[in-house]
Structure 1
Amino acid sequence: MTTSPTAPTSLRERKKAQTRRTIQEVALRLFLENGYDGTTVEQIAAEAGVSHMTFFRHFPTKEAVVESDDYDPMIVDLIGSRPPHEDCLTALHHALGEGLRAVYAADGEALLTRTRLVLTTPALRARVWENQYATQQLFADALGGRRRGQSDLAVRVLAGAALAALTTALTLWVESEGARELPDLVDQAFLALRDPDGN
C-alpha cells in the first residue's frame, strides 16, 4: 500500500515503513506485469533496491507481500471507538465502513490490485480461509463489551457474517474492475445481512 493507516512516529520506524511500502509497491507492479507465479522474490528485491534478506525481514514469504497490511488493527481500534449502545453488527458495519473509506481514498488502486491478485491466484486464494479465520477472531474479541449476554458462538457468527459481507463486497468491486464504489458495496452488503429480502 502507498499509505499506512497508522503513521509510524520515529525516524527509524518511518524508514522501515517506507522500505516496506516500496517493496510492496514494486511487487504489485511486477505481479501485474509478469504474473504472480512469474515473479520471484529476487526480482522484487532487485527492483526495490534491497537485498534478498531485507525482503524477508519485512515479508516472510512472497504471499505475504500481497496479504500483509495494517488494516485489522485499525478496524479493531475503530470497533472499540464505536458508541457502547450499538449492537455488534452495527458496530462492525460502521467500523468497517469508516476504515475502508479511509483505505479506499488513500490506497484504492493498490487495494484493488491486491484483492484481484488474491481472488485470481490459486496460491493466494488457498490461504484466504486461514487469514479470514484470524480476522474473524480479532473482530469477535474486539466486540468484547457489546455482547450483552450473547454467547461466544453468537458473537463469532456475527463477526463471520460481517467478514462474509465485506468479502462479497470486495469480490463484486473487483468483478466491476473498480467501477463500482467500494464503500457503497459494503453498505449494501450489510443491509442485505439485516434484510435479505430487501424490504
Structure 2
Amino acid sequence: MTATDSAKLGLRERKKLKTRAAIQHNAIRLFLEQGYHETTVEQIAEAAEVSPSTFFRYFQTKEALVLEDDFDPMLVELYKSQPRDVHPIQAYLNVIKESKARISAEARQEIRTRMEIVAKVPELQAALMGQMNNTLDLFAELVAERLDKGKDDLAALAIAGAMVGIVMGANAYFLRQPGVDFIDAIESAVEQYCRETLGIKQG
C-alpha cells in the first residue's frame, strides 16, 4: 500500500497498518540477525511492543511474516482498470510498470530481503509454492472477468497458469542473480513472454 493509499484511510485503519508494518519490520530484522528458526513469536512481539495475542491478530503464522505483503489490493485495482482490448498478460505487464511508481525503494528492498530469507528456509519455499495456488485463483478470477467467462473456465485458468509460471521463473532468476531487483525481474520476464510467446511488440 502506498503513502497516498494510506492517507485515504481513517485514523484507526492507519494505526492498524502501522502496527502490522512494525511487527513485520521487526520480524525481518530478527530473522536476519539471528535466523528464522531461532526467532520466536514472543521475541518478535516484544521487539514490536505488542503482545503475542496481538501478533496473531495480524499474522496467523510466522511464515506469513515473510510471505505476505499489502500490495494485492493495489495490483487488483490496477489490473481491473486496464483496457479490455489488451491481452490479459499484457495487462499484467502494464500493471507491473504502473505499480513500480507506487512502491517505494524501501518497500522494494524489503521485498528482496524477504525473498532472500525464503531462499534459505525450505519450509518457506514449500509455503510459497502453496501460496501460488491462491495466486492462481486470484489471477484466474481477474482474467475471467476480462474475458467475460467464469473463473473455472479453461482459457482463464490456462492464462492465469502462464502468469503464475512467469512469476515463478522470475523468482528463480532473482534468487540466482545477486543485485537484481525482484520487481524488475518480474517485469522483464513478463515483457519477454509478451514479445517472444505472444508476439506483442513492446514500445
State the TM-score, normalized to the length of structure 1: 0.86
**CA contact under 8 A between 1:170 and 1:182: conserved in structure 2?**
yes
Long gaps (5+) in structure 2: none
Q: How many angstroms apart in 1 are the aligned matches of 2:87 and 2:42?
A: 48
User: Shift of the alpha carbon at 1:192?
Assistant: 3.3
Q: Does 2:165 match 1:164?
A: yes
Contact kept, 8 Å, 2:45 with 2:52, in 1: the verdict is yes
The amino acid across from 1:10 in the alignment is: G
Pick closer, same or farther for the CA change 1:98–1:126 going to 2, 3 Å.
same
What whole-Å deviation, never above 9, does each CA across 1:153-174 have from its counterpart, x for those lacking one? Answer: 1221211211221232233233
Letter in 2 for 1:49: E
Cα distance change of structure 1 residues 41 and 181 upon mapping to structure 2, 3 Å threshold: closer
Deviation at 1:5? 8.1
Q: Confirm or deny: 8 A CA contact 2:132 2:164 kept in the other structure.
A: yes
Runs of 4+ in 1 over 6 A off after TM superposition: 148-151
1: CA distance, partners of 2:84 / 2:147? 10
- 1:10 maps to 10
1:42 aligned partner, one-letter code = E
8 Å Cα contact 1:31/1:39 also seen in 2:
yes
The structure, 1 or 2, with the larger RCO (C-alpha pairs under 8 Å, 6+ apart) is: 1
Distance 1:101 1:48, change over 3 A: same
CA contact (8 A) 1:80 1:143 kept: no
Change (3 A) 1:89 1:5: farther
Q: Which residue in 1 is equivalent to 2:153?
A: 152
Amino acid at match of 2:188: Q
TM-superposed CA distance for 1:68, in Å, is: 1.7
**2:76 corresponds to which residue?**
76
Paired residues for 1:40-51 under 5 Å: 40-51=40-51
Q: Equivalences for 1:44-193 in 2 at 5 Å? A: 44-100=44-100, 102-103=102-103, 105-147=105-147, 152-177=153-178, 179-193=179-193
Please identify, of 78-87 and 165-174, the stretch whose mean Cα deviation from structure 2 is larger: 165-174
Q: Percent identity of the aligned residues?
A: 37
Aligned residues between the structures: 196
In structure 1, runs of 5+ residues without a counterpart are none
Distance in 2 between residues matched to 1:183 and 1:67, nearest whole Å = 15
Q: Measure, in 2, the Cα distance between the counterparts of 1:99 and 1:167.
A: 19
CA–CA distance in structure 2, aligned partners of residues 4 and 139 of structure 1:
25
Instruction: State how far apart, in whole Å, the 2-side matches of 1:61 and 1:122 are.
Output: 16
**Aligned mates of 1:92, 1:33 — CA distance in 2:** 36
SS in 2 for 1:102: coil
> Offset of 1:106 from its aligned partner?
4.5
3-state SS in 1 of match to 2:102: helix
